[in-house]
Structure 1
């Protein structure tokens, strides 16, 4: 028999979920490149189908890169993104399967995806989105705050930051140290019986 793993304590669960908040404003505290590397070194271990790992991340930190991003942002996301230490573009790689010989070496998995554009697209988008979720949890685990966003022009973001790599944009996520004075009141959540079923 295997021993069960212990549950995380309430402090850890609070930091990751129950007391964590999506941020609307940021303290003037830099996020180091070393922290962004540590973030990747945690999130990359989150599970994906056939270890396909199609998520790709562009961390916008410089003033020049933020100005390049500015025209793509909706009005409601502009100020909080310009003031955030980091804005991450959560993207996905349509040609993720080219990495499978390294990531999934025990069988030739490329034909599972190269034979169907729709299967490849669905796999890349779904698993890339999962990796975006892992990024947010990893950031919170490192003591950072996050603010995920839609509300941007996908085509402009891809043209400015992703087209040379062949990647596609999914969503944006500001990262840094949140300003509690800029938080809204916590919104309600659904009850178990409204969102779940046990069969």
Structure 2
């Protein structure tokens, strides 16, 4: 069965379904059209409502706009990702704040002891990584909702990026996302997806 058969089961319009999922692609080239601060703020203002466990919200973002910032980032990218990173009008390094629990009194106010749940550093880092990764998924959808293309990449030296940009902080980089309008020959051949019967079991 094709996904076309199930569109009537969704309340989201077909246009929105295509924008966020079916027609959306990972961009590998970008036009020179800039991405404004207001666009980025609008994306975050939408995706911040995505759920995380205990409302932890560990996602942090380094917005790379300047030529200097890009030149600091490029040496840490895998060779195959450097040209696309250079060509994108905006690069965002998405990171997990392993000290997210410091904000819990503000974002989880009905439990004043919430910070104590994350006293274990290793457990706190696992929680930060899992929930920041959820938020990264929301962020990519938000970029698409803004009519922009996202190029998420894990092909980079995370330790190098952390040393370059996050030394002395509790941030740990997870994904670099190139953002902008797609350029020429932006799309690779679309790869197949697994069907429902291949990924689901019923208990």
After TM superposition, the score normalised by the length of structure 1 is 0.93
Counterpart selection for 2:35 from 31, 36, 40: 31
CA root-mean-square deviation: 1.2
Task: Give 1:119 shift.
Answer: 1.9
Please give the secondary structure, in 2, of the residue aligned with 1:23: coil
Structure 1 match to 2:200: 196
Counterpart of 1:7 (choices 11, 26, 33) is 11
Q: 1:112 aligns with which of 113, 117, 135?
A: 117
- Which structure 1 residue ranges, 5 or more long, are not aligned? 1-5
- 1:166 alignment counterpart: 170
* Distance in 1 between residues matched to 2:60 and 2:107, nearest whole Å: 15
Give a deviation string over 1:140-174, Cα, whole Å, max 9, x none.
11111101101111111001112243200111111
Match of residue 138 from structure 1: 142
Mapping for residues 44-123 of structure 1, pairs under 5 Å: 44-107=48-111, 108-114=113-119, 116-123=120-127
TM-score (norm 2): 0.91
Match for 1:126 among 130, 143, 168? 130
- When structure 1 is superposed on structure 2, of 9-18 and 180-189 the one drifting more is 180-189
Q: Which runs of 4+ in 1 moved over 6 A?
A: none
Correspondence 1:178-193 to 2 at 5 A: 178-179=182-183, 181-193=185-197
In structure 2, list runs of 5 or more residues that go unmatched. 1-9
Q: Structure 1 residue 180: deviation in Å?
A: 5.2
Q: Secondary structure of the residue that 1:163 maps to in structure 2?
A: coil
| SS class of match (1:124) | helix
